Amino acid sequence: MTSSPDYAAYIASLPRVLAGAAVLFRDGEGRVLLVEPNYREGWTLPGGTIESDDGETPRQGARRETAEEIGLDRELGRLLTVDWVQGVGRPPLVAYLYDGGVLSEDEFKAIRLQEEELLSWRLVARDELGEYLSDPHRGRVLAALDVLADGPGTAELEDGRRVF
């Protein structure tokens, strides 16, 4: 079935939204794995853009990006947060954050950074996240840690602030 020119024009006229997905990995002490990109300032979680033109889902994108960026390819846990981030000079972003679980010492030793994108990685305690992450990103990680502590559920966020 082919789409009509009217339908194609309608689709082209719709607003655009970016989509990204990341993974929250922790160690046995509850510290969060952060990575340092070489293409912008600051730190972030392993993850990146969802390749929706290829039919990739948020979960698939998070797993693929994690395998590419840090060399860990593993099943992901539940969806912890969904964040609507208003764009400044870009379309809005929907950011999905999945539970990567607690990594063993051997898994941390197996991390291999994607040199084209990352400079380093580190483990950061909850109370030190503000030193490494921007406001929306920090809010997303803190909300995800709260969801993990509270039990089942997913946090809905807007610009890193919990709405529900």
Q: Which amino acid is at 54?
A: D
Residue 160 CA to residue 29 CA, distance in Å, equals 24
According to CATH, the superfamily of the domain at 17-162 is: Nucleoside Triphosphate Pyrophosphohydrolase (3.90.79.10)
* Nearest-angstrom CA–CA distance, 140 and 135: 9
**CA-based nearest residue to 34, from 157, 137, 156:** 137
The 10s digit of each residue's pLDDT in 116-136 is: 999 999 999 999 999 999 989
Between CA 141 and CA 146 the distance in angstroms is: 9
**Beta-bridge mates of residue 33:** 123
Instruction: Judge whether 76 and 62 are in contact, CB under 8 Å.
Output: yes
Question: pLDDT tens digit string along 25-55?
Answer: 999 999 999 999 999 999 999 999 999 888 9
Instruction: Check if the beta carbon of residue 127 is closer than 8 Å to that of residue 109.
Output: no
